[in-house]
Amino acid sequence: MRNEDITRRGSRKDAKIAKPCFVFYFASLRLGARFFSRKFFLSLFSFVSPRLCVQSFRVILFLLLANSNLLFAESEFSFSLAPVIEAPLGIEQFTSGMGAAASLDWAFWQFAKNFDLGFRAGGGFTSVTAQIGDPLTLIEGRLGPFVRWQPRVKSGALDRWAFNAGMGAGVYSYSRSDYNSETKALFSFNMGGEFRLLPYLSLFAEGTYTHRVFDPPQPLSSVGMALGVRLNLSEIMGGRARVQVEKTEQYRVFPVSYAWYEHNPIAKVKITNEEPNDITDVTLSFFMDSYMSQPWTFATLPRLSQGESVEVPLTALFNDVMINLLENVNAAGIIQTQYRSLGAKKESVSVVQMPIFHRNAFSWEDDRRAAAFVSPRDFSALFFARYVAGAVGSEHRTESSQTMSSEQLSVNRGLQNVPANVRYAAAMFEALRLYGMSYVVVPATSYKNLSANEAALDSVSYPYQALYYRGGDCTYLSILFCSLLEAIKIETAFITIPGHLYIAFEVGDSNWQKGNADIIEIETDGALKRWLPVEITVPDQGFTRAWRIGAREWRANVTAAEGSAAALYPIREAWKLYPPVTIPASGDHPPEMPDRFEIIKAMEAELRK
């Protein structure tokens, strides 16, 4: 979807600029009529007949209608003022003279690459020195078309230059003490060049050949040279930034991954330089009210050639307000483009629509992304985990060794050899069973159906939601169990096999159950880690049974004939890409915990198996 540049004002704005310019020009004509000669201007309007005006209007109207782009193209108005040196040709009694000239240019059509067509209305006066007698004073006005060429080279070395050629026709009035003031026709041809100091200010030099009807019949022709300044009125009166920014590709935005988008794109945008020259120091920033604290610079370009387009990824530094979204929204974002054009600073603002999903939305392009839902700071999960950890820590203080039988002492000594991580994990598993946690699968949103389709949209529960509803599918339960163990500093991992997700935790002891095939040993960064897999979807079958099932599933897939179909993703490694998210409301409904003694009793029973 193409976004709209809110700074684009096009021909409407040019019309607003044109109106005061024409008012100024015709007011100057009236003032000049009073100052110079009423007879001169009366002669001017008598020379230009009404029939000629009508025919000229028809020609101009036909040209406009023949190419509709003329009606909507961006117009440019400029005003020029310069001193003039003029030398008559063919009349020996006159020598060179000085004067001044002014003109109003209207460039309205870019008919070819780097070429503009326009009209120029101008006038001036010149005092031509005579060898004998008083000087000859010339006052003239002319109107005609011109063509402007702006050269382009890749280096941008000629960006500030423009060259033009034009012709004109008009009338002039001459006077001298020994001549009566008369009005005659003139025709002219001019060529010149300009150097733009700024987008609105140029220096120009121009040579003109003028053919004047004179009395006696010998024509009063002359060549002139002007060196002056040209003001771009369109730029002065609110010149717009001529860059176009449009969104070319939209990616899914999930609140659970809001921190991930600082370095990964939410969209792609294309910026096109529509200035008549190269632009430099291009900076693009993005801001979305409510979901961002400040504008975020997502791209910088040292130079962008005239007419060049570049596609850049759009990243964003979102804040945690986004995780409060309960429904999908279509939010408005602002792309601000700042750059320099011929040294002058310019700025453009564009509005883009960004669809954002609700906070539980998720897709399976990368299985590690689910780690963002694993939150050790989730208030309900933290409450549950600390309660169970407290029960395990106090198990040796609840019953004195003096009251135990020799058989009980022997069993307890055996349990003491079990690593702490395993005891805590077993207690956590049994606590969930006593809590009433159950495996519930909805076929339409199951991991089995959605994980095979990266484009499919899933809805995943946060830990507190799984505790509140006391159930979930393999994804919900794996996220919950990992959150509980990470809350008490036990490292966890996701295990994925075709159509299924479950968990593993780090044993924390390099010698316990050494050589046991039911423990996964993986070397990472030169260190050997031992992982105990747990099939979390069988909470009613006990911790030991869940361990055996998880190990069997791993072996069945890691040794598949077509290659390993199993993968283990440590949560803490995944957090480097997808930081965990905690919902502020996760503590609104603390879980009702089972009896501590029942938890310890169930844990010990499982570890004795």
* Cβ-contact 241, 273 below 8 angstroms: no
pLDDT above 60 for 35 = no
Q: Residue 365 has what DSSP assignment?
A: S
- The residue ranges of every structural domain in the chain are 4-236, 243-356, 362-607
Instruction: Report how far residue 103's alpha carbon sits from residue 229's, in angstroms, rounded to the nearest whole number.
Output: 11
Residue 250 has pLDDT above 50, yes or no: yes
Does the model's pTM come out above 0.75?
no
Q: Is 580 exposed, middle or buried (0-12, 13-18, 19+ CB in 10 A)?
A: buried
Task: Tell me the average pLDDT across 554-559.
Answer: 87
> pLDDT over 90 for what percent of the chain?
59
The angle subtended at Cα 482 by Cα 481 and Cα 485, nearest 5°, is 85
Query: In the predicted model, is pLDDT for residue 68 greater than 50?
Result: no
pLDDT in tens, 346-384: 999 999 999 999 999 988 889 999 999 999 999 999 999
What is the topology classification, in CATH, of domain 4-236?
A: Porin (2.40.160)
Cα 552 to chain centroid, rounded: 49
Q: Are strands 438-439 and 471-472 parallel, antiparallel or unpaired?
A: parallel
Higher pLDDT, 414 or 553: 553
Q: Are 504 and 480 in contact (CB under 8 A)?
A: no
The HSE-up count of residue 327 (CA atoms within 13 Å, CB side) is 3
Residue 65 clears pLDDT 70, i.e. is over it: no
Pair 473, 440: CB distance under 8 Å: yes
User: When comparing pLDDT for 400 and 571, which is higher?
Assistant: 571
Q: What is the mean pLDDT of residues 63-72?
A: 46
Residue 198, pLDDT above cutoff 80: yes
CATH topology of domain 243-356: Immunoglobulin-like (2.60.40)
392 vs 235, higher pLDDT: 392
pLDDT of residue 409: 43
- Please say whether the beta carbons of 568 and 487 come within 8 A: no
The whole-angstrom separation of Cα 78 and Cα 233 is 5
Condensed to tens digits (0 to 9), the pLDDT of residues 108-159 reads 888 877 899 999 999 999 998 887 778 888 899 999 999 999 887 777 778 8
Res 95: pLDDT: 84
Neighbours of 596 (CB within 10 A): 18
Q: Which region among 19-33, 57-71, 197-211, 347-361 has the lowest average model confidence (pLDDT)?
A: 19-33
Bridge partners for 247 per DSSP:
269
Same CATH fold, 243-356 and 4-236?
no
Question: Beta-strand (E) ranges in 367-518?
Answer: 438-439, 458-459, 471-472, 492-497, 500-506
pLDDT above 60: residue 36:
no
Cα 331 from Cα 352, distance rounded (Å): 8
**pLDDT at residue 311 is higher than 80:** yes
| Backbone phi, psi, residue 532, to 5° | -105, 115
| pLDDT tens track for 413-466 | 557 789 999 999 999 999 999 999 999 987 655 665 555 565 678 899 999 999
Q: Are 559 and 552 in contact (CB under 8 A)?
A: no
Q: At residue 13, does pLDDT exceed 50? A: no
Query: Does residue 63 surpass a pLDDT of 60?
Result: no
Indicate if the pLDDT at residue 596 is higher than 60: yes
Q: Which residues contact 84 (CB under 8 A, 6 or more apart)?
A: 98, 99, 100, 101, 124, 126, 224, 225, 226
